[in-house]
């Protein structure tokens, strides 16, 4: 008998699903659009239909042992999706309750970045770690904090919003409504904004002057950095400094043994990790110096959205 967890990642544009075994192998992967469904009821009806169809691809005998869901503004305690700005379903959606009408199984839900942290614990580089931090550097900056072996959900189920700590008072406008949040400086769009600030001061012969704001992305900046473009290199240095300073504070609060970086910007490897490490060590309290590793996630290149979601269930079953 083979056990599987259904992993579901609900994104603004696409919903990704898969049947995941304890080793992190994903079977019957699927991706279908989230956008067209104005009604969550119709969306769910369609999602369940697709899952039942996909399940037919599994070899007998098998057993589904639970469903893990990653969703924006996912509330772990209540199983709800609350006021998610990039989903069409407004208000508070009792998603796991709705799912339970179709599946009589353990169902857990959290936000995608928290799920990614659990993915690292169940399948990745944090298998033996009880205290670590995951930082996902993509369109935004997300994260998950694991303390005493458990994810930190907080009293309301929403903890771990590392992207929205305050970096610059009255700083860059953030999608959350505030200004100066960490993710406006440290993320794929954040490093682009930094490049434009740097170009405004001094172009230094940089090739990045050839791109419009719309055209520029973190991959262009990464490629320029590899060719020693001075502005690109400086933008990684500044981004690493901002991230390293924030992580120094996180270390003082929760003292993780490792920090994992994941996401588009993390693919830049040492270009982002080296300055982040340097500035973390510069800013961190003496008690914690030279104790914390910053490493790339071991899940880079894998379907972390579905893996992370499924980890929600395996992590419970492992206890």
Residue ranges in contact with a second copy by CB under 8 A: 73, 83, 129-132, 145, 147-148, 150, 152-162, 164-166, 169, 176-178, 181, 245, 248-250, 252-257, 283, 285-288, 291
Phi, psi dihedral angles at 318 (to 5 degrees): -70, -20
Q: Which of 254, 295 has the CB closer to a second copy?
A: 254
CA-CA distance, 174 to 140, in Å (whole number)? 10
39 burial (CB, 10 Å; 0-12 / 13-18 / 19+) is exposed
Using DSSP, state whether 306 is helix, strand or coil.
helix
Tell me the two tokens of residue 265.
Answer: 């910007």
Q: Which of 248, 265 has the CB closer to a second copy?
A: 248
Tallying the residues shown for the chain, one arrives at: 319
Q: Which of 204, 316 has the CB closer to a second copy?
A: 316
Q: Which of 179, 298 has the CB closer to a second copy?
A: 179
Least distance to a second copy, CB of residue 187, Å = 15
Kindly list the strands in the beta sheet with 293-296, ordered across the sheet, starting from the edge strand earlier in the chain. 150-151, 141-147, 132-137, 258-262, 293-296
Least distance to a second copy, CB of residue 56, Å = 39
Least distance to a second copy, CB of residue 89, Å = 17
3-state secondary structure 18-58: EEECCCCCEEEEEEEECCCCCCHHHHHHHHHHHHHHHHCCC
Q: Which of 49, 282 has the CB closer to a second copy?
A: 282
Least distance to a second copy, CB of residue 256, Å = 6
Q: Which of 115, 307 has the CB closer to a second copy?
A: 115
- Residues 6 or more apart in contact with residue 84 via CB below 8 angstroms: 71, 72, 73
CA-CA distance, 190 to 204, in Å (whole number)? 20
Q: Which of 192, 241 has the CB closer to a second copy?
A: 241
Least distance to a second copy, CB of residue 154, Å = 2
CA-CA distance, 154 to 131, in Å (whole number)? 16
Distances (CA, A) of 86 to 14, 90, 295: 11, 10, 30
The single-letter DSSP state of residue 308 is H
Least distance to a second copy, CB of residue 141, Å = 11
Least distance to a second copy, CB of residue 157, Å = 8
């Amino acid at each position: 008998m083979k056990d599987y967890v259904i992993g579901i990642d609900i994104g603004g544009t696409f919903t990704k699903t898969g049947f995941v075994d304890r080793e992190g192998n994903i079977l019957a992967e699927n991706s279908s659009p989230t956008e067209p469904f104005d009604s969550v009821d119709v969306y769910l009806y369609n999602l369940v239909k697709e899952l039942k169809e996909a399940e037919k691809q599994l070899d007998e005998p098998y057993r589904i042992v639970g469903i893990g869901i990653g969703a924006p503004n996912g509330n772990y305690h209540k199983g709800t999706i609350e006021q998610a700005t990039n989903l069409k379903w407004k208000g508070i959606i009792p998603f796991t309750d709705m799912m339970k009408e179709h599946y009589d199984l353990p169902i857990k839900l959290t936000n995608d970045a928290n799920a990614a942290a659990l993915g690292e614990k169940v399948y990745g580089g944090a298998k033996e770690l009880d205290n670590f931090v995951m930082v996902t550097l993509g369109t935004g900056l997300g994260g998950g904090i694991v303390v005493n072996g458990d994810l930190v959900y907080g009293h309301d189920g929403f903890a771990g919003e590392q992207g929205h700590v305050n970096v610059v008072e009255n700083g860059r406008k953030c999608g959350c409504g505030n200004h100066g949040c960490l993710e406006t400086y440290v993320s794929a769009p954040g490093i682009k904004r930094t490049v434009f600030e740097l170009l405004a001061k001094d172009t230094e012969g940089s090739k990045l002057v050839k791109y419009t704001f719309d055209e520029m992305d973190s991959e262009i900046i990464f490629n320029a950095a590899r060719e020693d473009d001075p502005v690109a290199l400086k933008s990684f240095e500044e981004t690493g400094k901002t991230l390293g300073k924030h992580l120094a504070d996180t270390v003082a609060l929760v003292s993780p043994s490792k920090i994992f970086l994941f996401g588009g910007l993390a693919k830049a490897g040492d270009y982002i990790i080296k300055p982040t490490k340097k500035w973390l060590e510069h800013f961190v309290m003496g008690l914690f110096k030279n104790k914390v590793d910053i490493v790339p996630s071991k899940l880079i290149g894998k379907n972390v959205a579905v893996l992370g979601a499924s980890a929600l269930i395996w992590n419970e079953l492992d206890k």
